[in-house]
Structure 1
């Protein structure tokens, strides 16, 4: 029987410098925005209110930065991580032009690193992915690495290439929309009185609330992003794997933790960069996610007295509200309760 289907790429199919133009551009609608809000309950005022957003220089309420991230990311899954074991981490992510309802995003990825694992069954693929809107403007440029199965364990693989990735996005690389003017920012309507100056390097913020992951919500969310990774949907495939059940998409944990972070960081109105990130352990339906943040650094924005930037470490944990237990053991391995260790930069009024 002739087959017109495509099993997509396994580890041995990737080559350094390979450019992949991903299929299915995605027009983001107000329906997507409403569904995203229903899934995570995010309360940041800029993304919730056209009037609030226009008052500080946006064209209207931009879509949540992580919704834009998921849409750009989702395009890459069929070509990069359909046959993945796990998505491992992120680095050097820069958010560009804000995305609004009605914009269409598309993504192109370039393979920048490859490393076969010692078991000979899998390898790690590093890609740089760039999402653009319908005008060709960059909305997100980021790097990620993912563990991918080999189709044939005996297949030869290319020489190991490990890319040099930045540990942090430099302040001068942050892209600040030129139209922004926070002189009319309404702290009462934003739900928080805290400005850039109110945060101290080293400060930890417990976001207090927890949110339990429901299987149905995760399935809806991952379909919303057109993320087709088998480990999230296919119980037959997942049942034969290490954990015997479907994994929660790591980006779902990022969105849950970011939504929880409103309590304590309600004026962190825009994500400007993803510096680094690790999905420390898999999450499953029934887990309850709690989160806390640590202020890693504070940046002034050149030429701006109304906007500052906070570099934050966002940690999501399973079924535990504590912020002071050791995240890693003596050998550097994450505690089994840690789900996410995410280093990112937000813009905040001064």
Structure 2
């Protein structure tokens, strides 16, 4: 058989290493498409001149553009037969992604657990994105629920990886040369620096956006994300295409600009959950909570740890969990990340 049906849960083995096809060279066109899909306007990734004033040779591509590109490489091998992508941990951006870079990806299976229904299981993988110089650009863990192709197939012993609850501030990687001592707050769009935020503070980002089917389909094609739940309306019993979780992440990050315009670069992904499915027609609203602050060794550069929550419009302010401790049904995304900010 020459066609590839994708891996099912019983096809994975602990320690299995997978080199993903196909390497991709990214350029300025990806930036333009990314900014067309999302209202992204952080200055460092919008303006070469702003980036040069901050010590970089030019404006790097958006951090989440790098994430989506690497993620998309993994889909045919990891989540083609996924029921849902479940979460993330231990993610670090290790080098900026520049126009002209060629990205490839490699994953290692670090955990497996069959679900009690016997029809699916959870696969944990650690994925690394590398550039044309074999430099690591991005490294993260994700876990995904994958269908079984044969319910009677034997499955390996359960192994659930022990993952850190967050990336330590000391392990954050600041791009070489980054310097915020001459940071232009007026050009960035807001006056707020790291010292203006307090731990525990919650920010309602005010704006909302309705998810469109056409934009989601363009996004998944742009990232070469071929997961059946996103493309094939017959793949789910309800006949609806599931919105790619990364599409929700990028939309939420872009909406958080209003109140966090100076959270310029994402440098770590501590944890993340796609709490409930998102479908075309849902309207997103976003809020953030400040979890932690830290200094870095780079001049003028601090780090802020944030919880980013996307909810459906109509949810009560700062909705997260119900009385039972589970995510409220209106919650679509709960993301914990570090970003760089002038202090």
Confirm or deny a common fold (TM above 0.5).
Answer: yes
Structure 2 matches for 1:267-282, cutoff 5 A? 267-282=262-277
In structure 2, what is the equivalent of residue 348 of structure 1? 341
CA RMSD, Structure 1 to Structure 2 (Å): 1.0
1:22 counterpart SS class: strand
Matched, 1:297 2:274: no
Which residue of 224, 231, 253 maps to 1:258?
A: 253
1:281 counterpart SS class: coil
In structure 2, what is the equivalent of residue 237 of structure 1? 235
In structure 2, what is the equivalent of residue 307 of structure 1? 301
Matched, 1:125 2:119: no
Alpha-carbon distance, 1:319 to partner: 1.6
Alpha-carbon distance, 1:321 to partner: 6.0
1:264 counterpart SS class: helix
Matched, 1:248 2:243: yes
Q: How far apart, in 2, do the equivalents of 1:321 and 1:37 lie?
A: 27
Unpaired runs of 5+ residues, structure 2, are none
Runs of 4+ in 1 over 6 A off after TM superposition: none
2:89 counterpart SS class: strand
Structure 2 matches for 1:76-155, cutoff 5 A? 76-155=74-153
Alpha-carbon distance, 1:324 to partner: 3.2
Q: How far apart, in 2, do the equivalents of 1:305 and 1:294 lie?
A: 25
Q: How far apart, in 1, do the equivalents of 2:133 and 2:318 lie?
A: 46
Q: How far apart, in 1, do the equivalents of 2:232 and 2:262 lie?
A: 39
Alpha-carbon distance, 1:178 to partner: 2.4
Deviations 1:82-140 (A, max 9, x none): 00000000000000110011111110000000000000000000000000111111110
Q: How far apart, in 2, do the equivalents of 1:106 and 1:320 lie?
A: 40
Alpha-carbon distance, 1:305 to partner: 4.8
Q: How far apart, in 1, do the equivalents of 2:233 and 2:239 lie?
A: 8
Alpha-carbon distance, 1:244 to partner: 2.9
Q: How far apart, in 2, do the equivalents of 1:74 and 1:247 lie?
A: 16
In structure 2, what is the equivalent of residue 73 of structure 1? 71
Q: How far apart, in 2, do the equivalents of 1:131 and 1:251 lie?
A: 16
Q: How far apart, in 2, do the equivalents of 1:273 and 1:100 lie?
A: 18
Deviations 1:45-68 (A, max 9, x none): 011101111111112110110000
Q: How far apart, in 2, do the equivalents of 1:64 and 1:321 lie?
A: 29
Q: How far apart, in 2, do the equivalents of 1:276 and 1:98 lie?
A: 21
2:249 counterpart SS class: helix
Unpaired runs of 5+ residues, structure 1, are none
Q: How far apart, in 2, do the equivalents of 1:332 and 1:132 lie?
A: 39
TM-score when normalising by structure 2: 0.98
2:7 counterpart SS class: coil
1:329 counterpart SS class: coil
Q: How far apart, in 2, do the equivalents of 1:308 and 1:36 lie?
A: 26
In structure 1, what is the equivalent of residue 318 of structure 2? 324
In structure 2, what is the equivalent of residue 42 of structure 1? 40
Structure 1 residues 25-34 or 225-234, which shifts more? 25-34
Alpha-carbon distance, 1:332 to partner: 2.4
Q: What is the number of residues matched between the two proteins?
A: 343
